[in-house]
Structure 1
Amino acid sequence: MKKNKKRTIQLEGWELMQRGILKLKNILAGKEESPFKPEEFIMMYTYIYNMCTKKPPHNNCQQLYDKYKEELDEYIMLTVLPSLRDKHDEFMLRELVNRWEKHKVMVRWLSRFFGYLDRYFVSWWSLPALNVVGLICFRNLVYQELKVKVTDAVIALIDQEREGSQIDRVLLKKVLDIFVVIGMGQMDYYEDDFEEYMLGDTTSFYSIKASNWIVEDSCPVYMLKAEECLRKEKDRVSHYLRSSSEAKLLDKVQHELLITYGNQLLENEHSGFRALLRDDKVDDLSRMYRLFNKVPKGLDLVANLFKQHVTDEGRVLVQQAEDAANKRAETVGGSPEQVLVMKVIELHDKYMAYVNDYFSSNTLFHKALRVAFEVFCNKSVAGSSSAELLASYCDNILKKGGNDVIDEDIEEILDKVVKLLAYINDKDLFAEFYRKKLSRRLVFNKSANIDHERLILTKLKQQCGGQFTSNMEGMVTDLTLAKEIQFQFQRYLNNNPAASPGIDLTVTVLTTGFWPSYKSFNLSLPAEMVKCVEVFKEFYQTKTEHRKLTWIYSLGMCSITGKFEPKTIELIVGTYQAAALLLFNASDRLSYSEIKTQLNLADDDLVRVLQSLSCGKYKILSKEPNTRTVSHQDIFEFNSKFTDRMWRIWIPLPPADERKKVVEDVVKDRRYAIDASIVRIMKSGKVLGHQQLVQECVQQMSHMFKPDVKAIKARIEDLITREYLDRDRDNPQLYKYLA
């Protein structure tokens, strides 16, 4: 089939349309013209209608469609472009906006005149709509020629505004709207012809600014400027840039102001992050967090510096406590170790508030704080582990006369102490020290408030789990039951006067499984005390036949009357001390060996007893020779000349070094715990490699202590010996569980 050649058809009456189009141009040019009357519009619309509805070959739709474009092109070439070419900068932008607005008016009117063509011909042949043709004409003739000049002019105005000048923001918005509208639903023209160049200029602009500010300004001043720049850039987007530009624009600004000079800014010795922490510049710290929080991984360096600063402050506190302890200096408020715990609590309060209030509780800073405290909270001071120090601090808070803290503050302090425990690796060691001290508070009635004892056990249970506090909770409950037994014993004596030992006797019966283990000696009690023991045994046998009593004399307390020549004084002493003193009712002078034989005490305990009675503040016994220490050759005599201004005195025993015993017990318990963990893991996995077994064991134990890898290896070898595990013959690093 041959294609028909395009025929040229004369448009009859086109002069009518030309007069209407000319009138439209005159109106747009501001020449005095009356508006289109309805009949004029109808006449022109009718002309187009008639030309489009003729039957072929007289149908002129295609020619009219072409004429529409020709008229627009002619108007742009002869009127619009000349008016723009002779203008520059802001004047050119204003003229561009003016011509764009008039062009839209012209397209709108012409599209109305040619409306029938648009509805039928364009639709039928799927051609660009008339208003789209109008956009294309403007884009091809005006936009393509001027886009570079327009972009340069817009960027120049933006730079002027960045330097502080006032510019016409409405004008810029209208200009940039042209970039968008020209794209007809796409952002390609805006992004490729304007945004790309604007972002490049932004990089250059702030690169120069940052290089000057980092030299001239302190960190707080620099951050103020950076924050203001970012705020203004966001404001710029909201007024005339497209919203899609915001993230890209801020990214460029942040890169130049914060990333390029981030390390230099944060690590500034005189005004950087650590200087702000040191001087408590909380507003500047908050600003720094806000700024670097918006930068990818910007907070990593900030959090690391925070960790270093807190670690260093904590280490200083530990060193100060170590120095004070070495000098045996007593500081205001307690021993150096006790003061250390208080200061660490204050430090934790301070920087936890920083994390929550100024760093928005960001997990990076919580982790940094935790890591920092784990470093110095696990340091020893004067031979005392952090676990022991914390247990001693709790003991000081909870015992009678140990502190001047009011009850309303106790709960808050205990809560802070338990939070510190989370940073201590050897939680099992803390538990054992705490249990030892709790037992003494309970047994010797030294606890200030039993409700506070229960309160901290509840907090410890929440922090470390029920197994952590089960024995301690049992101790508190046990003491309540012991008081009931004592009440029944007293009633028994009242009902059986003949059984009374003649001495006021209080016995605390405790359950062995809950309480710490204590050495039990077959102390040769004086006759006065033997009867007390026998009376209570008779009573207890009426209560139960299946329980055996083990007497822990080292925990006993006695009140004895000392009849001295100046006056009679009541002496509050331990059972060992009382037994030693009662020996002098029958003998005036006794040697060390005689006392040892009669009491059946170990040397360590006997030395402490005689030391307290002859070498301390209260010299109830005279010693020969008169030295400050007790030896096996010493002779002791009752000091009848002793006196004191008080009528009642307490003579404490020199403290025994229980630290070694506690540590030994904990090490032993750890072996059992590691064994149980390894068996559980192997029972579940059946066959595991050495490395995986060690890692899983460390993970299981980490909530109580950090097991040493060598210790785990030793326990594996022991379990192999005991035939719980077997080593693979082909691969020594592989273990098998033996059911």
Structure 2
Amino acid sequence: IVSPTLYKQLRQVCEDHVQAQILQFRENSPDSVLFLKKMNACWQDHCKQMIMIRSIFLFLDRTYVLQNSMLPSVWDMGLELFRNHIISDKTVQSKTIDGILLLIERERSREAVDRSLLRSLLSMLSDLQVYKDSFELKFLEETNCQRLMQEREVPEYLNHVSKRLEEEGDRVITYLDHSTQKPLIACVEKQLLGEHLTAILQKGLDHLLDENRVPDLTQMSQLFSRVKGGQQALLRHWNKDMVQDLLDFKDKVDHVIEVCFQKNERFVNLMKESFETFINKRPNKPAELIAKHVDSKLRAGNRGHRRGTPCWEKCLSGLRRAFTSKLEGMFKDMELSKDIMVHFKQHVQNQSDLAPIDLTVNILTMGYWPTYTPMDVHLTPEMIKLQEVFKTFYLGKHTGWKLQWQTTLGHAVLKAEFKEGKKELQVSLFQMLVLLMFNEEDEFSLEEIKLATGIEDSELRRTLQSLACGKARVLTKSPKGEEVEDGDKFVFNGDFKHKLFRIKINQIQMKETVEEQVSTTERVFQDRQYQIDAAIVRIMKMRKTLGHNLLVSELYNQLKFPVKPGDLKKRIESLIDRDYMERDKDNQTISSIDPSKYHTIFF
């Protein structure tokens, strides 16, 4: 009977005392350091007093309190009272946290601060179990980049980043709670490195390479390896200009030979042999990089380009007929599409029931173009109606043909109104479908957008990432971040500003995976197998009878692309099965020890 009453009265006395302490912190105190010192003194006195009280009431603490699990110990009761009546006060907590952040910011600015005061106060927040929610979140938000990239050269900036990482690690050891280390270092890496990867590379990588700045390049590599996607960005930057640099070098050598050596044939041949030697050392990679380079140029510069120009004729003349037939077909499709659209616009100009949408359709022949996986998305009723009108018009002129809409290739120009004024947004069809939703509501979740548009998950995430996380952020995302996660919400950004009237919002490009590279290599071989077959037949018609090893050797001399011996063997077997050639009857096996001889078969 005595113990409950005693514990209750003890708690009441302690609570009255703690409540009386709050008054000193509610006074206006312009000096943050004095306020923090007063808070620290109050905390230290409170701890000493609670230690003394616990010693006096040790028997109560070890018997009655220990037997009642619902009651906090005398020490925990003291922490609870201090947390509830002092540190949980909004004004007091705000002043305390802001004061601590101010001291940390001063230290980052090379000012001397009382580290023992910081250590004591942060230990107090940890003991009171408010460190993470009250301090750490705000501390990480305040740990942002100081926008030094524009002011400093890359080596100097990298040294600054390394020093900041070292200093923040030292702060964790000296006075921050150890639980802050991982998020703090990650925050510094993201703010100082992750958000400036492209700027660092564009501003300094070429310069460091040209001057052979090995220590600075080593430091860049080490820092980039700490950030997600850092090394990939470094590789991409190093790789993206390789073809253009090679072409520039070729132009430079051509100019020297023409001007200095008067196009001497021996110099020309020597240069040609040199280029052939180093390019052919890597069988497929140069061809792959050149193909991607040409693709990027055609994508960027083919608007309004017409056949018959000197550039186009020169391109065709430099390639074999086998490689240009599809390319010619592509340009022919584009020319025919223009004529079709002229007639279609004349067809619909008197139909007043159609929405005011300026529709342009390109009719692509499937045999000329790459294959694309169709994706069924939810278009607006106005767009569906216009599609049906075009389908009826086109099939009426081309009976028996079939149209398949490729939504992944569609794009649009939208007119948007922002506080700054009207803008035109050049977007993909998927981006358009997402943006049109915000005519109806101000906010949508990822799941709601997915349901309304019908865009598949991975494609939708990339689309939203381009609209809310790219350079032109016409949407805002919560919570903030560079990746689109489940549960994210999106709001139209009415405060969006841009110096241009028409803004192109690029889609986020997916990196080519290993599986896609293997698949591409296989498709390339499928295209090349007919050339291999033709070369085999051509050689055998000329030689009539030939041994396996000699045939393979002849093929390597004639083919202008790398091919594996196993693939050659498969093509030879295929021609034998189709009766284009036959094995010598006296030698029926194919092996390196006992190679076959082959005969041609004439029809």
1:98 aligns to what?
none
Alignment of 1:616-631 (within 5 A): 616-631=470-485
Extract unaligned runs of 5+ from structure 1: 1-315, 394-432
| 2:449 paired residue among 595, 619, 633 | 595
Alignment of 1:521-600 (within 5 A): 521-600=375-454
Contact 1:613 1:621 (8 Å CA) reproduced: yes
| 1:375 paired residue among 259, 264, 277 | 277
| 2:298 paired residue among 411, 418, 438 | 438
Contact 1:558 1:575 (8 Å CA) reproduced: yes
Equivalent position amino acid for 1:626 in 2: K
Closer, same or farther: CA 601–721 of 1 in aligned 2, 3 Å: farther
Q: 1:548: how far off?
A: 1.5
1:208 aligns to what?
none
1:696 aligns to what?
554
Q: 1:727: how far off?
A: 4.8
Deviations 1:587-619 (A, max 9, x none): 444333443344333444323211110110122
1:386 aligns to what?
286
Alignment of 1:658-697 (within 5 A): 660=517, 663-679=521-537, 681-682=539-540, 687-697=545-555
Deviations 1:281-301 (A, max 9, x none): xxxxxxxxxxxxxxxxxxxxx
Q: 1:326: how far off?
A: 7.7
| 2:567 paired residue among 682, 689, 711 | 711
Within 2, Cα distance between the matches of 1:663 and 1:608? 26
Q: Does 1:473 align with 2:375?
A: no
2:265 aligns to what?
361
| 2:346 paired residue among 459, 477, 491 | 491
2:151 aligns to what?
none
Within 2, Cα distance between the matches of 1:673 and 1:499? 54
Equivalent position amino acid for 1:529 in 2: M
Contact 2:333 2:362 (8 Å CA) reproduced: no
Closer, same or farther: CA 610–466 of 1 in aligned 2, 3 Å: same
Extract unaligned runs of 5+ from structure 2: 1-205, 218-231, 590-594
Closer, same or farther: CA 502–519 of 1 in aligned 2, 3 Å: same
Closer, same or farther: CA 614–488 of 1 in aligned 2, 3 Å: same
Within 2, Cα distance between the matches of 1:675 and 1:440? 36
Equivalent position amino acid for 1:474 in 2: G
Within 2, Cα distance between the matches of 1:533 and 1:437? 31
Contact 1:612 1:652 (8 Å CA) reproduced: yes
1:615 aligns to what?
469
TM-score scaled to structure 1, two decimals?
0.43
Deviations 1:223-264 (A, max 9, x none): xxxxxxxxxxxxxxxxxxxxxxxxxxxxxxxxxxxxxxxxxx
Contact 2:443 2:490 (8 Å CA) reproduced: yes
Q: Does 1:338 align with 2:206?
A: no
Q: 1:477: how far off?
A: 2.9
Closer, same or farther: CA 603–504 of 1 in aligned 2, 3 Å: same
Contact 1:570 1:647 (8 Å CA) reproduced: yes
Q: Number of paired residues?
A: 366
Task: Give the greater-gyration-radius structure (CA).
Answer: 1
TM-score scaled to structure 2, two decimals?
0.52
Give the SS at the match of 1:464: coil
Q: 1:493: how far off?
A: 1.0
Deviations 1:7-60 (A, max 9, x none): xxxxxxxxxxxxxxxxxxxxxxxxxxxxxxxxxxxxxxxxxxxxxxxxxxxxxx
Q: 1:654: how far off?
A: 2.3
Within 2, Cα distance between the matches of 1:605 and 1:722? 44
Equivalent position amino acid for 1:504 in 2: D
Q: Over aligned residues, Cα RMSD in angstroms? A: 3.9
Q: 1:390: how far off?
A: 4.4
Within 2, Cα distance between the matches of 1:668 and 1:569? 47
Contact 1:439 1:475 (8 Å CA) reproduced: no
Within 2, Cα distance between the matches of 1:482 and 1:464? 25
Contact 2:257 2:268 (8 Å CA) reproduced: no
Give the SS at the match of 2:265: coil
Q: 1:578: how far off?
A: 0.5
Equivalent position amino acid for 1:368 in 2: L
Moved more, 573-582 or 661-670: 661-670
Give the SS at the match of 2:490: strand
Deviations 1:505-537 (A, max 9, x none): 111223333333333322332323212211211
Give the SS at the match of 2:470: coil
Closer, same or farther: CA 321–461 of 1 in aligned 2, 3 Å: farther
Contact 1:525 1:579 (8 Å CA) reproduced: yes
| 2:314 paired residue among 459, 473, 483 | 459
Deviations 1:141-181 (A, max 9, x none): xxxxxxxxxxxxxxxxxxxxxxxxxxxxxxxxxxxxxxxxx
| 1:351 paired residue among 257, 262, 281 | 257
Within 1, Cα distance between the matches of 2:211 and 2:434? 39
Closer, same or farther: CA 624–577 of 1 in aligned 2, 3 Å: same
Q: 1:628: how far off?
A: 0.8
Q: 1:487: how far off?
A: 0.5
Q: 1:581: how far off?
A: 1.7
Q: 1:646: how far off?
A: 3.6
Q: 1:731: how far off?
A: 4.4
Identity value in percent: 34
Contact 2:354 2:382 (8 Å CA) reproduced: no
1:155 aligns to what?
none
Within 2, Cα distance between the matches of 1:718 and 1:633? 55
2:15 aligns to what?
none
Give the SS at the match of 1:559: strand
Contact 1:523 1:600 (8 Å CA) reproduced: yes
Q: 1:385: how far off?
A: 4.0
